[in-house]
A and B are shown apart, each in its own frame.
Chain A
Amino acid sequence: MFNLKEISQAVISGDGVKVKDLCGKALDAGVKAEEIVKDGLIAGMNVIGTRFKAREIFIPEVLMAAQALYSGLELVRPLLAESGASQLGKCVIGTVKGDVHDIGKNLVIMMLEGAGFEVVDAGIDVTPEKFVQLVKEHKPQVLGLSALLTTTMPVMKETIAALKEAGLRGSVKVIIGGAPVTQVFADTIGADAYAADATVGVDRIRELLGAN
């Protein structure tokens, strides 16, 4: 019997090399990819999430664990059954047009990857048209929009309008974030969710997808 707790522990200690190695051994021992993800990788990351919320550990430790998880996930993902892969969820995320700040968006991407999501990084200064194109192409369940400047916040509204126009609004949940953004603003422009920081963002996206 392969002990998946070892994988969790390696994720918790942020040891990517060990995580990858253990995932390989688990597969060799005949453990299902879905089980490795759920009871090994994600279980470890859940411990990290709890500790982070309790302020026992901080962002660098979370990111190390997230990266460790990701190195295991890369190995396992191709073997996931179609249903298993889609359960994890796919997100497209980018900083809206006129805004070139990306550290917040990058933080969200790393946290999402650490939570097992597949993430398409749309980059910075992304036009509404480009977001529409990416949604068509990648068919994500979630689209994340980021803005640091108050002057670029209206582009979030324009992007949602462009999705509607392209008939894609019903197929994708839109979540917004960034320092000046608020829940009130999210409600005003018809976004599905708002998150104040990267970890809350992961929680909100899980809620949007009805996962826990």
Chain B
Amino acid sequence: MKTNHSIQATPYIRMISEDQIYQIHLATLEVLERVGVMVDNEEAMNLLREAGCYIHDNVAKIPAHLIEEAIRTAPPRIVMCDRDGNRKLFLEKNETYYGTGSDLPFTIDPYTQERRFTTKKDIENSAKTVDYLPNFDFFMSFGIATDVPEVTSDLHQLDAMVRNTKKPMIVTAHHRQGLLDQIHMCAAVRGGVEELREKPLIICYSEPVSPLKHTLEGTDKLLVCAEYGVPVVYTPGLMAGATAPATRAGAILQANAELLSGLVIHQLKVKGAPFVYGGVATIMDMMTSVLPYGSPEWHSNSIILTQMAQYYQLPIFSTGGCTDSLVFDQQAAAEATYTLLMANMSGANLIHDVGYLEQGLTACYDTLVFCDEIIDMVRRIRRNLEINEETLAIDVIEKVGPGGHFLTNPHTYKHWRNEMWVPKLINRERFEEWEAMGKPTMGDKCNKKAREILETYEPERLPEGVQEQLAAIIAKAEKRYLK
């Protein structure tokens, strides 16, 4: 090794400097101490009061030391396990994983291409699809089960998910009781509540409401998760110019204030409980008023929020592979691809919303298949570059010499597979070959593959008896609500 030799082996993306991260951090402390946050949850309010916050009606102003303490006690890494208990996702600095988002009311039917309401069967099918696709690491429900009793649709969704994929999951619950039922369902899969704490299968998704409001249900989920040791993703979904300042710096600061105040509540409940910093900060589209999923503001803000989370040494939930387009078309491919690349380069841990169409309203199987290929590609872009005697290949260059070729050199044979990415769906055919294939577009190929997965892939079943336990928990919950 040479003296004073440093190595960089991957692309390196940063949006702001260490000084600017600290500037945002200090501004966040100022907002939380001067403005405070609204907390519509009695238990959380009691925790904040006892800890020394300044309470005015339902607003808590939080002194800086409580925030610093919460950052210190939250774990810097969380390991998620699959259905069999294998340690799979290492949510620690610069480890990047991909998954769907949750709760889309509509689905594009892969057979009719019609946009229709999402059903429980769709959630089973997308779980199956994600279980099959190698570049997906975790699963969120993708759809809302609109064909089951609304009061227990969160439980039906988890049922559809856990029966059809072994990958770790992020779940959404209606409320405190819904989350408790979900935890008992997962405990049934894992073999007990303590086993679930030791080997997390699910992360619970929860949100504050911007600006600066912790709701009863959102906060309940923080408290329940802390109690059961279930990791929680807490993520604001703010729209700059509407529910946050129009300036990106102001929007990021506000998101950070919402996140850190949530973290304080969470850590006051149980110190060391696993918390995932959520990084979602987009704009309100000033033409249509929608919340745009492909906006450049969102995905560059995500880089800054990832930097903030890394500064705090917290796992980070981020976004990619999503689009505002209403169908899987050219715009969808462009937005999905650039957002996946940016998310990958950012080093965020859980990249969610992969496969989302229509500003987070429509699920699409074809897009999942497409994104699997693109994730494969962006992972290749990020892959470590090795520079050494073998890879510099000076001897090989000498042997081939000027004017020769490398096609049959053993060095080519030895290295090409490891060095070169081989696409599965990306088209590199010559015109005649492509014509002979019937001129398939990317859309055609993704749809064909999506159907093939649905028709041929069989995910591994749950162990005997577990499915019945899940059904019993759901039936009990249904009785509770519908009596």
Nearest-CB distance from B210 to chain A (Å)?
Answer: 49
Which of B408, B422, B431 has a CB less than 8 Å from the CB of A64?
Answer: B408
Q: Identify which of residues 145-159 in chain A touch chain B, using a CB-to-CB cut-off of 8 Å.
A: none
Q: Identify which of residues 395-439 in chain B touch chain A, using a CB-to-CB cut-off of 8 Å.
A: 405, 407-408, 412-413, 416-417, 422, 430-433
Interface residue count for A (Cβ, 8 Å)?
Answer: 16
- Contact between chains at A103 and B430 (CB < 8 Å): no
- What B residues does A197 contact at CB under 8 A? 430
24 pairs across A/B with beta carbons < 8 Å?
A: A14-B413, A58-B416, A58-B417, A58-B422, A59-B407, A60-B407, A60-B412, A60-B413, A60-B416, A61-B413, A63-B408, A63-B413, A64-B408, A64-B413, A67-B408, A103-B405, A103-B407, A106-B405, A106-B407, A110-B407, A196-B430, A196-B431, A196-B432, A196-B433
Chain B interface mostly helix, strand, loop or mixed? Answer: helix
User: Is A107 in the interface zone, CB < 8 Å from B?
Assistant: yes
State the CA gap A36–B299 with chains docked (Å). 63
Nearest-CB distance from A101 to chain B (Å)?
Answer: 11
Nearest-CB distance from B431 to chain A (Å)?
Answer: 8
- What B residues does A106 contact at CB under 8 A? 405, 407
- What B residues does A63 contact at CB under 8 A? 407-408, 413
- What A residues does B433 contact at CB under 8 A? 196
Task: Kindly report which residue of chain B lies nearest to residue A183, judged by CB atoms.
Answer: B432
- What A residues does B432 contact at CB under 8 A? 183, 196
Q: Identify which of residues 52-111 in chain A touch chain B, using a CB-to-CB cut-off of 8 Å.
A: 58-61, 63-64, 67, 102-103, 106-107, 110
Q: Identify which of residues 183-211 in chain A touch chain B, using a CB-to-CB cut-off of 8 Å.
A: 183, 196-197
Task: Kindly report which residue of chain A lies nearest to residue B415, judged by CB atoms.
Answer: A60
Task: Kindly report which residue of chain A lies nearest to residue B408, judged by CB atoms.
Answer: A63
- Contact between chains at B422 and A107 (CB < 8 Å): no
State the CA gap A64–B414 with chains docked (Å). 11
State the CA gap A103–B405 with chains docked (Å). 7
- Contact between chains at B408 and A110 (CB < 8 Å): yes
Task: Kindly report which residue of chain B lies nearest to residue A59, judged by CB atoms.
Answer: B407
State the CA gap A58–B415 with chains docked (Å). 13
Nearest 8 A-B pairs (CB), nearest first? A196-B430, A60-B413, A196-B432, A63-B408, A60-B416, A60-B412, A64-B413, A106-B405
- What B residues does A103 contact at CB under 8 A? 405, 407
State the CA gap A123–B422 with chains docked (Å). 31
Which of B407, B412, B416, B430 has a CB less than 8 Å from the CB of A107?
Answer: B407
State the CA gap A179–B201 with chains docked (Å). 53
- Mark contacts of B420-460 with chain A using CB atoms, 8 A cut-off: 1 yes-contact digit, 0 otherwise: 00100000001111000000000000000000000000000
- What A residues does B417 contact at CB under 8 A? 58
- What A residues does B412 contact at CB under 8 A? 60
- What B residues does A58 contact at CB under 8 A? 416-417, 422
- What B residues does A14 contact at CB under 8 A? 413
State the CA gap A59–B412 with chains docked (Å). 10
- What A residues does B405 contact at CB under 8 A? 102-103, 106
Nearest-CB distance from A83 to chain B (Å)?
Answer: 31
- Mark contacts of B155-185 with chain A using CB atoms, 8 A cut-off: 1 yes-contact digit, 0 otherwise: 0000000000000000000000000000000
Nearest-CB distance from A80 to chain B (Å)?
Answer: 24
State the CA gap A110–B422 with chains docked (Å). 22
State the CA gap A64–B433 with chains docked (Å). 24
State the CA gap A197–B416 with chains docked (Å). 20
Task: Kindly report which residue of chain A lies nearest to residue B403, judged by CB atoms.
Answer: A102
- What A residues does B408 contact at CB under 8 A? 63-64, 67, 110
State the CA gap A106–B431 with chains docked (Å). 22
- Mark contacts of A174-185 with chain B using CB atoms, 8 A cut-off: 1 yes-contact digit, 0 otherwise: 000000000100
Q: A14-B413, A60-B407, A63-B408 are in contact. List 13 more A-B contacts (CB 8 A).
A: A58-B417, A58-B422, A60-B412, A63-B407, A63-B413, A67-B408, A102-B405, A106-B405, A106-B407, A110-B407, A110-B408, A183-B432, A196-B432
- What B residues does A67 contact at CB under 8 A? 408
- What B residues does A64 contact at CB under 8 A? 408, 413
- Mark contacts of B312-331 with chain A using CB atoms, 8 A cut-off: 1 yes-contact digit, 0 otherwise: 00000000000000000000
Nearest-CB distance from A156 to chain B (Å)?
Answer: 18
Q: Identify which of residues 107-161 in chain A touch chain B, using a CB-to-CB cut-off of 8 Å.
A: 107, 110
State the CA gap A196–B422 with chains docked (Å). 20
Most buried by A among B407, B417, B432: B407
Task: Kindly report which residue of chain B lies nearest to residue A103, judged by CB atoms.
Answer: B405
- What A residues does B416 contact at CB under 8 A? 58, 60
State the CA gap A107–B406 with chains docked (Å). 11
State the CA gap A66–B422 with chains docked (Å). 22
